[in-house]
């Protein structure tokens, strides 16, 4: 192989090693985000269940929902 081909091959190997490191880093971030999303979904479900349990079913007036500045 020529010197030019060897240099190009070396540069490609360097780029591939950087890309592999980047993919590993991004994969770690995706796994962490997946765990956080699963935890948040569980927490929202728990809060909705708690809200449904604490409020008696029945008539709700829209006036009760107005913010205090009205």
**Whole-structure pTM over 0.85, yes or no?**
no
* pLDDT: which is higher, 67 or 45: 45
Query: What was the pLDDT predicted at 28?
Result: 98
Our measurement of the distance from residue 53's CA atom to the centroid of its chain's CA atoms, rounded to an integer in Å, reads: 29
* Helix (H) / strand (E) containing 55: none
Query: What was the pLDDT predicted at 57?
Result: 60
Whether the pLDDT of residue 58 is over 70: the answer is no
Give the pLDDT band (50/70/90) at residue 8: very high
């Amino acid at each position: 192989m020529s010197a030019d081909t060897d240099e190009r091959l070396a540069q490609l190997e360097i780029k591939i090693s950087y890309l592999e490191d980047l993919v590993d880093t991004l994969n770690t971030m995706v796994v962490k985000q997946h765990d956080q999303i699963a935890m948040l979904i569980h927490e929202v479900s728990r809060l909705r269940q708690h809200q449904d349990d604490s409020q008696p079913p029945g008539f709700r007036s829209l006036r009760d929902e107005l913010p205090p500045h009205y």
